[in-house]
Structure 1
């Protein structure tokens, strides 16, 4: 039997949720208007709910970016904390290799891309990014995730950046309220 070498990338997504009371307490205690997930953890405030989703589809553009980075092709922007965002949307269309954006309709009522907090954490065959969505961000049903890369410094917004790296649909995380803080962590694993 001949061995077949394969390579794949998958993502372990984790969503942590803090309610209005927890958010207000951390805001008062930290003095921060929009505390990050690390601030909640640093103050010992555990999320009221955590869910995990396994899987994603690395888009054609995502694989091309990886190959360009591996072979030093052109002036390819690295996937670093300065240029990466986590996006969530209420779209329900299944993911495809040809995806270039989330499936959600345009506008802040349907989709939101949030810059990742701090540096991406690099491990053995893994890369981790976390974005925190404060009370005024992404208040809709979370049905899809994606990671995008911007050509300039990442800022929050409702349009995809220069590249949609990966996407996961059908996640059914519920609806985020405008009094809550949710974080989305993506651990990308390559094998």
Structure 2
């Protein structure tokens, strides 16, 4: 998670002319986040595995992950994750943001790439609550409702996002 406070947001808005700058704009203007944290470990949920396997064998009309059909979600729940979960269980507040960029899986020189990166930037008025849980789903619009299936989830206390701040959540899924 990368976080920019209201002062940094105001500076980037003035400098870029953008009303709602994405995380990459802060990077391009070399504005460091006031805090960056990392959480290791999450669970791929049963519904997520089913979606992955359906994509591998071409079953039905399963939509692949792309920037139009993938969202990062955050919630304030603290309930432990189980593989049977279909939502950000225990969250009173939750918000899903369409991914700004979905990485690719492929082989380069050397070992094959086994990592998928998904990033979403939450604007100044989005998800202003305590971030304690996160996940990725296959939705197509920003909102408060999960769209089946929920691919993964984890409990991770990231703090409270306040109005005026912009936070970027990046999910990196690695397979070994």
Question: Please, what TM-score do these two structures have when normalized by structure 2?
Answer: 0.93
Give the CA deviation at 1:58: 0.4
- Counterpart contact for 2:45–2:82, Cα < 8 Å: yes
After the TM superposition, which residues 1-191 of structure 1 pair with which residues of structure 2 at under 5 Å, given as runs? 15-105=1-91, 110-123=93-106, 124-150=113-139, 154-169=140-155, 171-191=156-176
Give the CA deviation at 1:104: 4.2
Give the CA deviation at 1:161: 1.0
Give the CA deviation at 1:25: 0.7
CA RMSD of aligned residues (A): 1.2
- Structure 1 residues not aligned, in runs of 5+: 1-14
Question: Please, what TM-score do these two structures have when normalized by structure 1?
Answer: 0.86
- Structure 2 residues not aligned, in runs of 5+: 107-112
Report how many aligned residue pairs link the two structures. Answer: 170
SS of the residue 1:185 aligns to: strand
| CA 1:112–1:42: 2 relative to 1, 3 Å | same
Give the CA deviation at 1:118: 3.1
